[in-house]
Structure formats: C-alpha cells, structure tokens
A and B are shown apart, each in its own frame.
Chain A
C-alpha cells in the first residue's frame, strides 16, 4: 500500500505550463525571440540622442512645475469649456446617428442588405482613428470646433452603433414576440419591446462615450479641430510648459470625475 501511494503521488510537482502543446509553446517562444531581435535591430535607436535627451527631459519636466492655471487671457478655461461643449454635442449627434444605424446592424431586426450596409458603415468608422477623420474634417470645414465636432460624431457612430446592435441581437426574443402578439406596429414594437431591454446599458455607454469624446477632443485640436487640444498644442509650440502642465492636470481631473460619474450612473441604472 505504501509502495502504491509513493508511485502514484510523486514528491516533485511541477506547475502545468500555460500552453499545453509543447511544439506550439516552443514555436511561440522562439518566434517571439526572433521577432524581438528583428524589431529591435530595425528600430535604429540613437543612444547618443537618448542620452542627450535625459538632461533635456529633466529640464522639460522641471519646467512643468508649478502648473500655471491662469495663463494669459484665461485660454486654459476657454479651451476646456470649448472641449466640454464639443464633447456634449458630438456625443448627442453621434448617438442620434447611431440609433438608426445600430437598429439596421442588428441581424434580428433588419433585412440582409440593410444589415450589410450598416455593418460596413460601422467598420469604416471604427477603422480610422478620430484624428484621421479630424484631418479630413479640417480640410473640408476649415479650422475650428466644427471640424472636431464632425470627427468626434463620426467616431461615435462606430463605437455606439456596434454596441447597440450587439445588445439588440442579445436581447430576449420572448418579450419582442409578446409585444408583437398584441398587434403593435414596428415603432411600437421597438419602443416597448426592444428599447426597455437595451436602455440601461446604453445610458451607461453614452456617459462612457462622453468621457471618450472629451479625451479625444484633446487631440483633434492638434490637427486644427478646436477645443483644449488647440490650446495644448499652442502651449507646446510656444514652450509654455507650465500652461501645458495645467491643461494636462485639468484633463486628468475632468476624466476622473466623468469616470466616477459614469460608473455610479451605470450602477444606479442597472
């Protein structure tokens, strides 16, 4: 008996590997090492420049302090406000555009050709980052917050319509059928059967998107789309790093507040 337990339970236990098939594990390990060598050697890092950059970086970071919130003519607050308005309006416009597209991209609501068209719109909007959309918007609509508004609204479509469509596809068909059985028309059907099921999640997501749009509004300004990004870019190119530090701190603060608010709202709604 003693003998058996000894053979059954060896003293040395080894952690099972994360990837069970050994050939796959080894080919992944060797492949990643080869890739790292290839990538690092093609990066052509200029050590000299990096070393030079270290004292420069120190000075750069020192010049961030103390952050200057009250810089000339209150541009910081003006930019922040413009960003907030831009984020609000582009979230609202983006969601208004997303709702029909999201309904069309749900396979259980729409016929195939509508479904394909809407999915294509979503894929196109998701592929390009807001900043590329902003470059084209600035070319078309001129400098200023309107271009940023267009770029952010288009970016919102890809995000919101996709999640809305997925949520509708996952909604319970039993409720939808029950409302249909009362003789409801299409709009009543959407309003009383689909909307109550997806609403809580959509409210949470719209606050989340507002948060994203505010953050993105800080970068569309770099290519001329208005908002706090324009102020930030000006501050950087004029080497006013204390103003830049103030702007970054305000952005972080607002994002923290929005994140806190959105997580609370989501808990409250669900």
Chain B
C-alpha cells in the first residue's frame, strides 16, 4: 500500500509500481500457459461437431422427455445394488483405513519406514479413480457387484485414512499421558487414550465418504462393475433416451436422499 503524489494530490494505491510490474508479469505467464493449453485442445477439436452441438442438444433433449416412468420399477434392484456397493465398500475401506491411519500418524506409527509405506498406500489409493480400480477388478473378479464393492473400498481407503491420520496427529497428548500414568500398556493407551478422541472423526469420515461413494457407485456400471450405471450404459448405447432421463432422475433422487441422511447423521454425531 502506498500513497503517491500526483499533481499535488495524494493518491492511494494498492501496490507500488514495482509490485505492479511483478504482478503483471505473473499474469502474463499464467495467461500464456492457458492460451497455449487452449491452442493444443482446440487443435484436436473438430469444430464442425462443436457448432452442431446446440442442435444435437435440442434433439437429445426433446427425445428425453417425457421420462419413461414405468421403467423406474425395473430400477429398484439396480438402486439397491448401488447402495450396497457404496455401503459395503465404505465398510471395507474403514476396516482397512483405521489401522493404516494409525501407522501413518506421526505420533502413533510403530516405525518411520511403516509410516512411509502407509503414506504410499494412501496416495496410491487416492490417485487412482474408482472407475479405474473397477476396470482392473472386473478383469480379476469378473463383472458384477463384487468388483464394484472392492473398487469403492480400495478407492476410499486413502481418503478415509488421510482424514483420520490428520485428526490422530491433532489429539490432546495430555489425555494419553494421563492414561499412561495409570500404568497402562501401549495397547491400553491406544484404546483408552487415543481412540475415544478420534472416534467422532472416524464416524464422521465414514458417513461423509459413504455419501461420496453413493455418487461414485452410480457410474461403476459403465465398466461392468454393477449398479445403476449398467442400465445407464445400456440405455445410452441403445439410444433409449426416455429411459436415460428416468435413470438420471432416479440417480438425482438417490443422491439427494443420501446427502440428507449423511447431513442428519453427521449433525447427530458432532
């Protein structure tokens, strides 16, 4: 912040001239990168299709109404499958994530090598999308709900373990020390000193991830891993647009309900 004198008048400015130039320079670099990226993408685009897109959108849109309501009865089983994939996947993830989180937290890890391994598990699980996990698991386990459940589980480990280990690192050390002062063993310290402090976080993270998993499990069917995505893929491939709009509405409703449930439960825990 500077005050400059301009024709005998004091003018307030946010930055000095030097700061302003540096600022402009950063903007220049940023904008050049974006323009370069845009050029690469636009070179690979067939602009004729893009120009045609509004007409296509109107066409598909007109084919999607009215939704085929009778089809929604056939969707009960897929929705049940989708919810199962999300729920059981979250359960698997939490069972694995809690020990991984304890290994990854600085204050509870048994050894620093274990910590590095645990951190690698977290990053690897987080960076590979659940659809890619599902793609691989369909090869191993065969198409179906099981592959989807395991994929959701593997994908969620990293997310849950990361949030849990961060909260383990932030616990109040005094309570652990108090438990230690009673002569408790390491295991007892963990059960009576640490776990009660992080239990609300663990429950909250589980619910939060369940909500995300409902959303993710709706698409696993695209690679054959069960759930409502199978019907979506099938309907799109057969150009049954009225079924597609029904499925999208059902997904919308499922996601809204799951969000409501998760918000209620989290409100009750915290």
Contacts and interface: CB of A to CB of B under 8 A. Distances in A.
A146 B132 contact: no
Interface in A212-270: 215-216, 218-219, 222-223, 226, 232-233, 236, 248, 251-252, 255-256, 259
A42 to B, nearest CB: 7
A146 B127 contact: no
A88 B34 contact: yes
Of the listed residues A35, A49, A53, the one surrounded by the most CB atoms of chain B closer than 10 A to its CB is A53
Interface in A59-103: 60, 81-82, 85-86, 88-89, 92
A81 to B, nearest CB: 8
Contact of B44 (A40, A129, A223, A226): A226
Interface in B170-226: 192, 196, 199, 203, 215-216, 218-219, 222-223
Query: 3 closest A-B pairs (Cβ-Cβ)?
Result: A142-B49, A255-B127, A57-B140
Nearest to B91: A36
Interface stretch (B20-28, B67-75, B80-88, B100-108): B80-88
B142 A43 contact: no
A219 B131 contact: yes
Of the listed residues A142, A149, A236, the one surrounded by the most CB atoms of chain B closer than 10 A to its CB is A142
A251 to B, nearest CB: 6
A146 B149 CA distance: 32
Given A42-B80, A127-B251, A146-B44, A222 B223 contact: yes
Contact of A127 (B44, B46, B252): B252
Contacts of B203: 18
Interface string B46-66: 100110010011001000000
7 contacts: A53-B142, A85-B36, A85-B41, A129-B215, A216-B129, A219-B129, A222-B135
A135 B236 contact: yes
B219 A146 contact: no
B252 A252 contact: no
A144 B45 contact: yes
Contacts of B251: 127-128, 132
B129 A218 contact: yes
Contacts of B196: 15
Contact of B146 (A36, A43, A52): A43
Interface in A114-156: 127-129, 131-132, 135-136, 139-142, 144-146, 149
Contacts of A60: 136, 139-140
Contacts of A34: none
A25 interface: no
A85 B39 CA distance: 10
A18 B199 contact: yes
B87 A39 contact: yes
A210 to B, nearest CB: 12
A109 to B, nearest CB: 22
Contacts of B33: 88
B163 to A, nearest CB: 14
B2 interface: no
Interface of A is mostly: helix
B127 A252 contact: yes
A245 to B, nearest CB: 10
Contacts of A222: 131-132, 135, 222-223
Given A127-B252, A146-B45, A219-B131, A85 B37 contact: yes
A89 B251 CA distance: 29
Contact of B140 (A43, A56, A82, A248): A56
Contact of B50 (A89, A128, A132, A141): A141
B45 A127 contact: no
Nearest to B192: A15
A5 interface: no
B40 interface: yes
A12 interface: no
A185 interface: no
Nearest to A43: B145
Interface in A172-231: 215-216, 218-219, 222-223, 226
A223 B223 CA distance: 10
B120 to A, nearest CB: 9
B187 to A, nearest CB: 14
Given A49-B141, A255-B123, A145 B45 contact: yes
Contacts of B219: 129, 131-132
A251 B38 contact: no
Nearest to A132: B219
A8 interface: no
Interface in B126-167: 126-129, 131-132, 135-136, 139-142, 144-146, 149
A89 B44 contact: no
Given A135-B236, A144-B44, A219-B129, A252 B139 contact: no
B98 interface: no
B96 interface: no
A110 interface: no
